[in-house]
Amino acid sequence: MKLHVIDTGFFKLDGGAMFGVVPKSIWEKSNPPDEKNLCTWAMRCLLIEDDSRKILIDTGLGDKQSEKFFSHYEPHGSASLLGSLKEKGFKAEDITDVILTHLHFDHAGGAVKRAGEELLLTFPNATYYVNRAHWEHALNSNPREKASFLDENILPLEQSGQLKLLEKGEDFNSNIKLRTFDGHTTGMWVPELNCNGRILFYCADLIPSAAHIPVNFIMSYDIRPLVTMEESEIFLREVVNKQAVLFFEHDPSIECCEVLLNEKGKFAAKRTGYLSEFEL
């Protein structure tokens, strides 16, 4: 198994929304906001070479939305999904599988592209994987979360015939387990990768950045915040016990870290850095 970080650029979200009830005087030390209280976040995907398969986890925001839509999130940076793949020596046709942790627009937007008046799959030869419970939730969402599920990101997947829905507890293969969490949204996956005997977790929005490792640092976007806290507590204990590596989708500068349980009984980052700096 060989791993490649695929950067798709940055976007901005409200700092208060990203840290919930945590006071700004605390979170602004690690994630300084601009004059509109917006913080910069990455949209960092992961490409896995596993034998002949090229497996992409998440797809970033994409570029097909309206100017008005993008004005709310201010996407910026020179990186793009296909550009980053090209830098690694791959093209869209090479991707055999796309695992979507969930269907919020900043995770699934790049899965579909606009070609004139048509909406086509960005990766024409890939099978797209989604948790069945999450798929049904996205199609019948609640008013609070509905704005994160865009028809143009979701319906073309089903219409293509390339969508595969997996049940809870059903894994991708023996090296990639798909762990299900329900705090952020119903049926979100956190892929667990067995990388030559060491475990790496692609955190998605369970722990979006290193600043969110404390279990009470949870997002206002989570539809079940107390469930997120319970899930994070159990998950981080497992991370410490397994000496696993966390891969952050949204941290603006930190790709990965290890976790420790400190003398105060709190979880904290033990070591941070780029994916290439860890023994995987």
Digit-coded pLDDT (tens) for 223-248: 999 999 999 999 999 999 999 999 99
Distance of alpha carbon 264 from alpha carbon 246, whole angstroms: 21
Closest alpha carbon to 30 in 229, 190, 214: 214
Locus of tokens 């404390």: 214
When pLDDT is cut at 50, 70 and 90, the band that residue 280 belongs to is: confident
pLDDT of residue 135: 98
Number of domains in the chain: 1
When pLDDT is cut at 50, 70 and 90, the band that residue 196 belongs to is: confident
CA distances from 175 to 42, 55, 200, 219 (A): 26, 12, 11, 30
Domain range for 14 is 2-277
CATH number of the domain bearing residue 115: 3.60.15.10
Evaluate if residue 121 carries a pLDDT over 90.
yes
CB atoms near residue 192 (< 10 Å): 19
Residue 126 is classified by DSSP as P
CA distances from 179 to 39, 101, 170, 222 (A): 28, 10, 9, 17
What does the pLDDT look like over 199-223, one tens digit per residue? 999 999 999 999 999 999 999 999 9
